[in-house]
Amino acid sequence: FASVLATTGMVVIIGYQIYDVARAEYGMSIPAASFQLGLLGFAQFVPLFLLTPVAGVVADRFDRRYVAAAAMVLDVAVAGTLGFVTITQWRSLPVLFGLAATHGAVRVFVSPALSAIAPNIVPAALIPRAIALNSIAFQSGAVIGPAAAGFLFASERSMPYWVSAVLMSVAVVAVLAIRSLP
């Protein structure tokens, strides 16, 4: 839940910042700045497209807890960098696109690693409940994350990134607290 909350919030704020920077810093028209949002989607899709087969193999060959934790630690670094770039006004389209693509690449490794953990740690009789609870956590995070990030952004522009870094750190600790998988 913490990871999804952080991730979905970051994605929305990165999109807004790209639009804002395109308009304010680069003087782009509304259609041109909107096109940048399409490019953002593409920049996050390319790592997904290229790395999904690799991420599945990595999740199957290595301890899934460590794969997920390592990816989330990298995402903590991305969130921290975005917070720093925002607070120091070093925002630019290349920087934001690069960090967004890195965020997309890191997230490719989290999903297969985390989704494969539950069946290994939950008794067979409880798997349907665990899957339902996981789905509820994901959907709740996907709805609450962007709204919370928007409120945080309204109070302080870098705050969504700092909160995302903390939430992902909590997720790292939670994943590493899972006992060794069979």
Residue 29: pLDDT over 90: yes
Mean pLDDT over residues 84-110, rounded? 95
pLDDT in the model for residue 23? 97
Task: Quick: pLDDT tens for 46-66.
Answer: 999 999 999 989 988 999 899
Task: Quick: pLDDT tens for 136-171.
Answer: 999 999 999 999 999 999 999 999 999 999 999 999
Sequence-ordered list of residues with C-beta below 8 angstroms from that of 148, at least 6 positions apart, any chain: 5, 9, 160, 163
Give the integer Cα–Cα distance in Å for 165 and 171. 10
Helix ranges, 88-158 (H): 93-115, 118-121, 127-155
**Residue 181: band (very low, low, confident or very high) from pLDDT cuts 50, 70, 90:** low
Entry pTM = 0.91
